[in-house]
């Protein structure tokens, strides 16, 4: 594969990552709403729905790393890559890098929100459980 074909594949992988991350952001936000509404069946369904997208993102990340290695960018940050490419390539990569960076930041925020809500839900469950004694027949099974 020529360098220009590898470069094109690299940018396409980045764009695909942005698309998958946006789907994951929506799923995380839905996750937060459903967790807040205390709907365990919907929560389970949403977790299952997210699994293919997570696997897809992992596959895209492996491909991105492989292509970056082929281009001589192994281990480089986006800013370091931009400092090494031509102005033409920079014009293509810079907006995609920025879009991916913003999407990943939004995903992180959505995940943190969902995590906070889940921790609150767990505290609610612990409070309810603490107020109910364990039936005698189950006391021996708790270690």
Please give the pLDDT value at position 109: 95
Distance between CA 112 and CA 100 in Å, rounded?
Answer: 18
Please give the pLDDT value at position 112: 94
Please give the pLDDT value at position 66: 97
Structure tokens at 98: 């920025």
Distance between CA 20 and CA 25 in Å, rounded?
Answer: 9
Q: Which residues of the chain have pLDDT under 70?
A: 1-2, 134-143
Q: For the chain, how far is it from start to end, CA to CA, in angstroms?
A: 60
In tens, the pLDDT along 49-64 reads: 889 999 999 999 999 9
Please give the pLDDT value at position 5: 94
Please give the pLDDT value at position 83: 94
Please give the pLDDT value at position 64: 97
Which domains does the chain show, CATH number per domain? 3-131 (1.20.58)
pTM equals 0.80
Enter the DSSP assignment of 142: -
Enter the DSSP assignment of 5: H
Please give the pLDDT value at position 117: 86
**Cα atoms in the 13 Å half-sphere on the side-chain side of 45:** 6
């Amino acid at each position: 594969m020529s360098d220009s074909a590898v470069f094109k594949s690299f940018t396409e992988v980045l764009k695909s990552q942005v698309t998958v991350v946006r789907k994951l952001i929506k799923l995380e936000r839905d996750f937060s709403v459903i967790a807040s509404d205390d709907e365990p069946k919907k929560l389970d369904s949403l977790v299952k729905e997210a699994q293919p997208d997570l696997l897809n993102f992992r596959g895209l990340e492996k491909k991105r790393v492989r292509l970056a290695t082929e281009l001589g960018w192994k281990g480089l940050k986006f800013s370091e890559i931009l400092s090494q490419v031509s102005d033409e390539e920079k014009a293509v990569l810079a907006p995609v890098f920025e879009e991916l960076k913003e999407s990943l930041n939004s995903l992180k925020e959505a995940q943190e929100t969902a995590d906070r809500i889940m921790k609150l839900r767990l505290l609610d469950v612990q409070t309810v459980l603490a107020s109910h004694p364990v039936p005698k027949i189950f006391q021996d099974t708790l270690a």
